[in-house]
Structure 1
Amino acid sequence: MRLTFDEQATETIIEQIKKDLRHREDLVIRPVKINEATIYFCYLTDTVDIEAIAIETLKQRFVIEKKRQNSDALYYACQEMGPTEKEQTPRDYLNVILNHQLLVVCESAVSVSIGKSHHRAIGEVKTQEVIRGPREAFTESVVVNQAMLRERLKNKRLMFQTLTLGTETKTDVKVVYLDGTCKKKLVDDIVKRLKEQPLEGILESHYIETLLETNVKTVFPTVYNTERPDVITAGLLEGRCAIIVDGTPFVLMVPALMFDFLQSSEDYYQRADIASAIRILRVGSFFVALLTPAVFLALTLFHQEVIPTALLVSLAAQREGIPFPAVTEVLLMEITFEILREAGVRLPSAVGSAVSIVGALVLGQAAVEAGIVSSAMVIIVSITAISNFVFPSYNLAISVRLLRFMFIISATLFGLIGIVLGLMLLAFHLTTLDSVGISYLSGFAPYDAEASADLWVRERLDKRKQLFQLKTVFKREKVRKR
C-alpha cells in the first residue's frame, strides 16, 4: 500500500517558521526521512531534551496511523514522546518554539512538551527566615511553584487560572484560589484588572502588583508578596487569591490587610502566648520606628517642661558646642543610617552585614567625638533603626522609613500637636485604603470581634472556632467597585 503525503502543506509550515525566525541563529530544523515524506523537528538549541525524541518509535507509529488513513496520524505518533497538542496557526508555531518546546511538522504541526528546565533547584527562604517552620522557598519556575502548592494543599477545589500577559514577553501568570472558599466575584475582579491594562513586558511580579493596586497615592503596600509556600497556602485557606508569575520566586497574594505585614508565619508554629507577646512587640516597634525621632524633637524644641530636670540638663550639656540645630542632627543621622542600610543590602552577604554594623558604630562614635552630633541623638536614631528591623515584611519597613521623615518635619514645625495631627491624617488615610476592594483595616475598622481575634494576639489553635478566621472578613465584606 502506497502512503500519500501532502508535501506542500509541510513546506508551507516550514517556510513560515523560517520567515518568522530567520534572525535566530539558535533555530534548529532537523529533517527525518520516512518513506516518501519528511518529518521536521523544530526547536531552539539547548531548549529541548533531545534524548526524549524517540525517532524510530515515532516513525513506526506514524506509518501505522497513516495506513489506517488517520488524519491525525502525526498527533497520535507524537504522544509517545510526551504531552502533545495540535497547533493551527503561524502564531501557534512561533509560540511553541519560543516557549522552549518541540514542534513536529509533517502535513500538520504538533507541539510536544519535552523542554529542558533551566531553573534553579528549590532552595531555602532568604527574605522571610524563621527559626521554626518550613524551609522550602518558591523558585522562578511557575510549573514548580504550582506543584509546590498542590503538594501542600491536596484538594480538588484548588484552582489555577492561566493567563499569558505581556505583549512582548508572553509571560505565564496563574491566578490561584480555593473554589468555594474564595469569592468568585473577587477572582473575576482580579482577572479583569490583569487583562484590561496590557503591559509590553512582565519581568517580575511587581509588574502585576501595579495592576492590582487601586490607590497608587500611598506608601503602604496593598499587595502581599512572599517566597514562602506555607504563607500562600494559609492565605488560600482564608479565601484569598494568589498570583504566580513565571520568572520570579515572589508570589503575590490579595487581599492584603495592614496587619498581615505585622505578622509572621512563625506565629502559628510557636506557643500562643509567645506568639502573642511577639505580635504586641511588633506593634510597639511600629510606633517606635515611626515616632521616636519626631517625639524627641518635639520635646526638646517645644515641650522642655515635660522632660525631667536631670535629663534636660544632661541633654543641654551634650548639645553644648554642637554647630547644627537638632532637626539637622536627626536628618543627618537618619540619612547616614539609610545609606549604610542600602550599602549593606547591595554588598555581598559575606561583607554586607559587617559594613552596615561596623560602619554605623564607627561613624556614630566619630561623629560624637568630632562634636557634629550629640550622644543622645545617636541613641535615638539607633533605637529607631533597630525597631525597623523587627517587621517581617520589607515593604512595610520601607513605608515606615518614609513616613518617619514626614513626622520629623511636622514635629519640627508644630511639636506634639504636629505629631497628633500627623497620626490623625495617617489614620484617615489607612481607613480609605483597600486591597482589591477589601478594606485595608478589615477586622479593626470596621470592627469585627470575631475577625479581629487573630490580629493583636494569637489564640490557641484548639480554642478557635475557625482555624482561618479571616474567612469571616472576606465572606461578610463586599468587594468594592474599582
Structure 2
Amino acid sequence: MRKQVDIEQTMAIIDKIKKDLYHREDLVIRPITVNDQTVYFIYLTNTVELKSEDLQVFFIRLLVEKKRAKETGLLQACLQLGPSEKQQTPHDYLNTILNHQLLVVYDEAVRVNIGKNFHRAIGEVKTQEVVRGPREAFTESVVVNQAMLRERLKNKQLMFQSLTLGTETGTDVKVVYLAGVCKKEHLDDVLKRLKEAQIAAVLESHYLETLLETKVKTVFPTVYNTERPDVIAAGLLEGRIAVIVDGTPFVLLVPCLLFDFIQSSEDYYQRSDIASAIRMLRVLSLFIALLTPAVFIALTLFHQEVIPTALLVSLAAQREGIPFPALLEVLLMEITFELLREAGVRLPSAVGSAVSIVGALVLGQAAVEAGIVSNAMVIIVSITAISNFVFPSYDLAISIRLLRFVFILLASLFGLVGITLGLVLLVHHLTTLDSIGVSYLTGIAPYDETAHADLWVRKRLDKRQHLFTIRHVFKRDKVRKGV
C-alpha cells in the first residue's frame, strides 16, 4: 500500500496543474488504478499516443519496480512507454504538458516523450533551387532538422547545444558547431547574444537573426539563412555556427560574408570552369541590377557626348512626346515592376507567374503605345529586373533593389559623379560591416590571396588547399584544442 505522504504529494502535483491550466478545455487528467495503485496520465487532447497494450506493460513494470526499488520505480516503468526523465518543479510540469508530451504522476512526476508529430514531411527546396544537388529541405521540426544534419555529418565532433528562448513561447533552439573546428570566441559570442536576449516570443528564425547582427543600420544581410541541409553542413565544416529554431525551416549560419550571398551550393556540384563562368555572371548581374537605370539617367541627362550619335538620335526620337522627365519615367517603371513582382509572389503559384509575366508584357507595351514611357526605358528596366533574379540569395536581391533607387536619385542630381560618390560610400559602408567579428569583405578587405582567388572563380576540388568556399577565414591553428 502506498504511504499517506506519497498520496498527498501526488495530489499536490495534480492540484497545482489544475490551478495553472484551469482554462485549458483540452487538458486531460486520466487516472488509472490497478491493484490500489493509481497513476495519473496528464496531457493535452490529441497530442500523445497512449496504447492499451503499452499501459499494461507499464503497470506490470511499475509494480515490479516498486517492490524492487521505490525511489526509481516510476522512471523505470515510464521507460517502457518512451524516452523519459524526472520533472522537479511546477514549471517543468507545465512545460511538459504545453510541449505536447505526456506527464505521468504517481508520487513524483516523469516526462515521457511520446508526443505526436504535427510537422510536415521532408520536402524539396523552394527558395534556393539548383539544377544539380540535393533536393531535400529542412522542415519546421527542430528534431527532424537535427537528425538531417547528423545524417550528413557523421562526425563525433558535431555538437548541439540546446536553448529555450522566448519567455512567452518557450521555443526550442539548437546551436550547432563542430568542436575543434569553429573558433571558440565565435561560439562564445553567439551563445552570449542568445542567452542574454530578453525576448518575449521567438516565432521564426528572424527573431534571432536580429540578435546576431553586429550592425543593424544596414540594408545588407549579415546573417545567412537557408533551408538547404547541404549548405549548413558545408558551413559547419568551414568552422561556422548554425542556429536551428523550432517552427521554421530556415536555419541561420554565422559568420557570413558578402560573397556567400552571390555563391551557390551548386558551384561545387559541377565542373569548375562552368561554375566559375556562372559565378562571374552573377557578379556582373549585381552591377547591372544596381547601376543600369542610374547610368542610363546620368548619360541621357548630363553626359550625352558619351553616347554614340546614332544611338543618341534614336533615344531623342523615342522620348519625343514623353510628358515625364527621365527620373519620373524610370521611377514609374521600377515601381510598376516591383508591384508585379510582389503580386506574383503573393498570388497562388498556379496563377502567380502568369500574372507577373503577362502583366509586365501588357503594361510595358501599353505604356509605350500610350506615350508614357519610351521603348529604351522599358528595355533598361526589364534587363535590371532580370539581373535581380540571378542572385541565389533572396536577401541580397532585396538589398540591391533598395539601393538601386538611391543610385537613381544620385544620378538624377549629379550624373556620373553622383554614381561614383555613391559607390565610394557603399564600399566604405561594406568595409565597416562584420559578422560575429569577421569582416564582411574578407578576402578583399582585409586582402587574403587564398581567399581572393576563390571568391571570383571556383578552383578544382583536387587543386584547392581547402575543401570549402572560405575555409581559410575560419582556419584552425596548427595546434587547436577542442571547443
- TMscore range, shorter length: over 0.9
Structure 1 pair 404–156 and aligned structure 2 pair: CA distance change class (3 A): same
Deviation at 1:196, TM superposition (A): 1.3
Partners of 1:3 and 1:67 within 8 A in 2: no
* SS class of match (1:28): strand
Tell me the alpha carbon deviations over residues 153-175 of structure 1, each in whole angstroms, 9 at most, x when there is no partner: 00000000010000000000000
Deviation at 1:345, TM superposition (A): 0.3
Give, in whole Å, the separation in 1 of the partners of 2:157 and 2:177: 8
Letter aligned with residue 182 of structure 1: C
Tell me the alpha carbon deviations over residues 130-158 of structure 1, each in whole angstroms, 9 at most, x when there is no partner: 11000000000000000000000000000
Give, in whole Å, the separation in 2 of the partners of 1:243 and 1:391: 23
Give, in whole Å, the separation in 2 of the partners of 1:81 and 1:355: 53
Partners of 2:318 and 2:374 within 8 A in 1: yes
Give, in whole Å, the separation in 1 of the partners of 2:263 and 2:182: 21
Instruction: Name 1:189's counterpart in structure 2.
Output: 189
Partners of 2:119 and 2:141 within 8 A in 1: yes
Tell me the alpha carbon deviations over residues 190-246 of structure 1, each in whole angstroms, 9 at most, x when there is no partner: 011012122110110000100001111100000000000000000000000000000
Give, in whole Å, the separation in 2 of the partners of 1:421 and 1:312: 26
Instruction: Name 2:122's counterpart in structure 1.
Output: 122
Instruction: Name 1:202's counterpart in structure 2.
Output: 202
* SS class of match (1:146): helix
Structure 1 pair 317–244 and aligned structure 2 pair: CA distance change class (3 A): same
Instruction: Name 1:167's counterpart in structure 2.
Output: 167
Letter aligned with residue 92 of structure 1: D
Letter aligned with residue 174 of structure 2: K
Deviation at 1:68, TM superposition (A): 2.3
Instruction: Name 2:481's counterpart in structure 1.
Output: none
Give, in whole Å, the separation in 2 of the partners of 1:310 and 1:476: 59
Instruction: Name 1:466's counterpart in structure 2.
Output: 466
Deviation at 1:53, TM superposition (A): 7.1
Instruction: Name 1:361's counterpart in structure 2.
Output: 361
Alignment of 1:304 onto 2:309? no
Give, in whole Å, the separation in 2 of the partners of 1:238 and 1:345: 34
Partners of 1:53 and 1:81 within 8 A in 2: no
Instruction: Name 2:444's counterpart in structure 1.
Output: 444
Letter aligned with residue 25 of structure 1: E
Alignment of 1:248 onto 2:245? no
* SS class of match (1:390): coil
Instruction: Name 2:313's counterpart in structure 1.
Output: 313
Give, in whole Å, the separation in 1 of the partners of 2:248 and 2:258: 24
What root-mean-square deviation, in Å, do the aligned CA atoms of Structure 1 and Structure 2 show? 1.2
Note the residue ranges of structure 2 that are not aligned, 5 or more in a row: 478-483
Structure 1 pair 69–125 and aligned structure 2 pair: CA distance change class (3 A): closer
Structure 1 pair 134–420 and aligned structure 2 pair: CA distance change class (3 A): same
Alignment of 1:345 onto 2:337? no
Instruction: Name 2:393's counterpart in structure 1.
Output: 393
Partners of 2:238 and 2:475 within 8 A in 1: no
Give, in whole Å, the separation in 2 of the partners of 1:50 and 1:106: 17
Deviation at 1:282, TM superposition (A): 0.3
Letter aligned with residue 177 of structure 2: Y
Instruction: Name 1:286's counterpart in structure 2.
Output: 286
After alignment, is 467-476 or 210-219 more displaced? 467-476
Give, in whole Å, the separation in 2 of the partners of 1:68 and 1:350: 64
Partners of 2:238 and 2:471 within 8 A in 1: yes
Deviation at 1:470, TM superposition (A): 1.9
After alignment, is 88-97 or 65-74 more displaced? 65-74
TM-score (norm. length: structure 2): 0.97
Percent identical among aligned pairs is 75
Instruction: Name 1:480's counterpart in structure 2.
Output: none
Give, in whole Å, the separation in 2 of the partners of 1:221 and 1:98: 34
Give, in whole Å, the separation in 2 of the partners of 1:476 and 1:11: 56
Alignment of 1:236 onto 2:254? no
Deviation at 1:52, TM superposition (A): 7.7
Instruction: Name 1:325's counterpart in structure 2.
Output: 325
Alignment of 1:381 onto 2:381? yes
Deviation at 1:366, TM superposition (A): 0.2
Alignment of 1:154 onto 2:151? no
* SS class of match (1:455): helix
Tell me the alpha carbon deviations over residues 386-419 of structure 1, each in whole angstroms, 9 at most, x when there is no partner: 0000000000000000000000000000000000
Partners of 1:181 and 1:237 within 8 A in 2: yes
Give, in whole Å, the separation in 1 of the partners of 2:124 and 2:118: 18
Instruction: Name 2:66's counterpart in structure 1.
Output: 66
Give, in whole Å, the separation in 2 of the partners of 1:69 and 1:239: 47
Tell me the alpha carbon deviations over residues 231-275 of structure 1, each in whole angstroms, 9 at most, x when there is no partner: 000000000000000000000100110000001110001100000
Moved over 3 A (4+): 2-5
Partners of 1:3 and 1:66 within 8 A in 2: no
Partners of 2:466 and 2:472 within 8 A in 1: no
Structural mapping, 1:420-431, within 5 Å: 420-431=420-431
Letter aligned with residue 90 of structure 2: P
* SS class of match (1:38): strand
Instruction: Name 2:48's counterpart in structure 1.
Output: 48
Partners of 1:104 and 1:112 within 8 A in 2: yes
Partners of 1:58 and 1:78 within 8 A in 2: yes
After alignment, is 271-280 or 65-74 more displaced? 65-74
Tell me the alpha carbon deviations over residues 108-140 of structure 1, each in whole angstroms, 9 at most, x when there is no partner: 000110110000000000000011000000000
Partners of 1:137 and 1:229 within 8 A in 2: yes
* SS class of match (2:120): coil
Deviation at 1:37, TM superposition (A): 3.2
Give, in whole Å, the separation in 1 of the partners of 2:468 and 2:337: 39
Tell me the alpha carbon deviations over residues 271-318 of structure 1, each in whole angstroms, 9 at most, x when there is no partner: 000000000000000000000000000000000000000000000000
Instruction: Name 1:96's counterpart in structure 2.
Output: 96
Deviation at 1:4, TM superposition (A): 4.0
Note the residue ranges of structure 1 that are not aligned, 5 or more in a row: 478-482
* SS class of match (2:71): coil
Give, in whole Å, the separation in 1 of the partners of 2:387 and 2:459: 25
Deviation at 1:34, TM superposition (A): 2.6
* SS class of match (1:201): coil
Structure 1 pair 469–290 and aligned structure 2 pair: CA distance change class (3 A): closer
Letter aligned with residue 287 of structure 2: F
* SS class of match (2:14): helix
Give, in whole Å, the separation in 1 of the partners of 2:327 and 2:15: 71
Partners of 1:32 and 1:40 within 8 A in 2: yes
* SS class of match (1:33): strand
Give, in whole Å, the separation in 1 of the partners of 2:258 and 2:301: 33
